[in-house]
């Protein structure tokens, strides 16, 4: 059986977070089961954009600190790296604002940027994935407007270098095809251990514009599919309702059958959120394909740029895989005839200037 350890943690207090992380990792064999003295260990958090830790957009730095300390206690050498969503030119700002640089300096841990890559099946994967002795994924528990959930499996999509991530949306605009790509990347860059930050999660229109939600948990396990399956239960969903989880399960990359997942530590049932808010785009995913085809022109979600809130950073424009965004001093616009509704712009905007708009019919159907 797959094993997932769950520990309750109410606050991002340094000592409390370390205790929760250590307890979770100890429940599945201890850090010595995963790393040995002298090993070079990549810590891969979710660093989506330049946001403060309280926004719950990026993995909280205290969880990364706790994992770094565990790795060092085993005599190994940790370093922290990621490739942020969209265009990576602002990685320094992301390290700074997310709190990652601060804890890296305090703990004497090196920060690295994923730039050099190795192509595997046509996908540019960060060299650090292959050059490290071990990889520990440290995802954030968040909703996602395209994939419903972004957590353990999808965090490794961040090992893809540059704008290829955005290009995947234009090549595979359908969620099923995009989910297969995420599953493929996970199979290539599969971490040895996953430690999930779910102390404060994000619900609603994640991964960057949702609402924070206290879920008070830290999870650890070798099987990211099993971790995401447990999160689905917390959200009020079946694991295979989430296509990324389903694709990874069908590819035999992990366990999604909850009856075959042993939950250690605190009871998973005590973390279930009865009114967990899913993205506005979620209802469309449960319509039969025949219905979607016939009403696709009537039921629509689309990104919308607030001209007043926009800071003209151009991250959305640079991240758009179909080049349908114009950002000028006096106006911002999206060419909806070209837009593939991938919502990359919504995902990477650090200023909440891009929202998801529903048309009138969609509001009438789902409120």
3-state secondary structure 200-218: EEEECCCCCCCEEEEEEEE
DSSP 58: S
Mean of the pLDDT values across residues 216-232? 98
- Residue scoring higher pLDDT (280 or 249): 249
Q: Give residue 364's pLDDT band: very low, low, confident or very high (50, 70, 90).
A: very low
Residue 287 confidence (pLDDT) above 70: no
Mean pLDDT (the chain) is 92
**What's the pLDDT band for 366 if we cut at 50, 70, 90?**
very low
Predicted confidence band at 363 (pLDDT cuts at 50, 70, 90)? low
Q: For 55-93, how does the pLDDT look when each residue is reduced to its tens digit (9 = 90+)?
A: 999 999 999 999 999 999 999 999 999 998 655 557 899
pLDDT of residue 299: 53
| pLDDT tens digits, 299-309 | 568 899 999 99
Please give the CATH topology (third level) of the domain spanning 282-366.
Alpha-Beta Plaits (3.30.70)
Give the pLDDT confidence of 86-105 residue by residue, as tens digits: 555 578 999 999 999 999 99
User: What's the pLDDT score for residue 300?
Assistant: 64
pLDDT of residue 293: 54
Give the range among 35-44, 199-208, 344-353 with minimum mean pLDDT. 344-353
The matching CATH number, chosen from 3.40.50, 1.10.10, 3.30.70, 1.10.8, for 2-271 is 3.40.50
CA distance 319 to 326: 12
Distance CA(207)–CA(51), nearest Å, equals 12
Nearest by Cα to 285 from 129, 178, 165, 141: 178
In degrees, rounded to 5, the angle at the alpha carbon of residue 74 between the alpha carbons of residues 72 and 75 is: 65
Distance CA 166, CA 307 (A): 23
**CA 195/CA 224 separation, integer angstroms:** 9
Range from 18-22, 226-230, 264-268, 337-341 carrying the lowest mean pLDDT: 337-341
Residue 165 has a pLDDT of: 84
pLDDT at 235 over 70: yes
d(CA 85, CA 129): 17
Quick one: CA torsion of 79, 84, 195, 1, rounded to 10 degrees?
-120
Confidence category of residue 292, pLDDT binned at 50, 70, 90 = low
Q: What's the rounded Cα separation, in Å, for the pair 364 and 367? A: 5
What is the pLDDT confidence band of residue 172, given thresholds at 50, 70 and 90? confident
Over residues 137-161, mean pLDDT: 97
Sorted by where each begins, the domain ranges of the chain are 2-271, 282-366
């Amino acid at each position: 059986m797959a094993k997932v350890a769950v520990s309750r943690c109410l606050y991002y207090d340094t000592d409390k977070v370390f205790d929760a992380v250590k307890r979770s990792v100890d429940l599945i064999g201890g850090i010595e089961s995963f790393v040995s003295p002298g090993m070079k260990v990549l810590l891969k958090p979710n660093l989506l954009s330049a946001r403060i830790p309280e926004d719950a957009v990026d993995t909280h730095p205290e969880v990364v600190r706790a994992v770094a300390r565990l790795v060092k206690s085993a005599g190994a050498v940790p370093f922290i790296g990621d490739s942020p969503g969209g265009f990576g030119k602002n990685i320094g700002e992301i390290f700074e604002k997310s709190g990652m640089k601060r804890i890296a300096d305090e703990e004497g841990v090196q920060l690295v940027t994923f730039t050099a890559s190795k192509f595997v099946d046509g996908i540019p994967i960060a060299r650090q994935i292959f050059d490290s002795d071990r990889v520990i994924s440290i995802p954030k528990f968040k909703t996602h407007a395209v994939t419903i959930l972004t957590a353990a499996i999808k965090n490794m999509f961040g090992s893809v270098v540059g704008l290829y991530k955005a290009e995947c949306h234009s090549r595979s605009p359908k969620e099923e095809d995009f989910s297969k790509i995420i599953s493929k990347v996970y199979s290539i860059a599969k971490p040895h251990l996953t430690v999930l930050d779910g102390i404060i999660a994000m619900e609603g229109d994640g991964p960057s514009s949702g609402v924070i939600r206290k879920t008070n948990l830290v999870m650890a396990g070798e099987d990211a599919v099993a971790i995401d399956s447990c999160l689905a239960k917390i959200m009020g969903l079946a694991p295979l309702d989430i296509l990324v989880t389903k694709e990874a399960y069908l590819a035999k990359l992990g366990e999604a059958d909850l009856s075959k997942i042993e939950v250690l530590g605190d009871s998973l049932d005590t973390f279930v959120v009865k009114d967990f808010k899913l993205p506005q785009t979620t209802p469309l995913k449960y319509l039969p394909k025949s219905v979607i085809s016939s009403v696709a022109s009537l039921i629509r979600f689309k990104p919308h740029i607030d001209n007043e809130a926009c800071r003209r950073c151009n991250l959305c424009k640079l991240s758009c895989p179909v080049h349908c965004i114009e950002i000028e001093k006096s106006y911002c616009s999206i060419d909806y005839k070209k837009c593939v509704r991938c919502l990359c712009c919504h995902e990477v905007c650090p200023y909440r200037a891009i929202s998801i708009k529903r048309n009138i019919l969609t509001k009438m159907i789902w409120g």
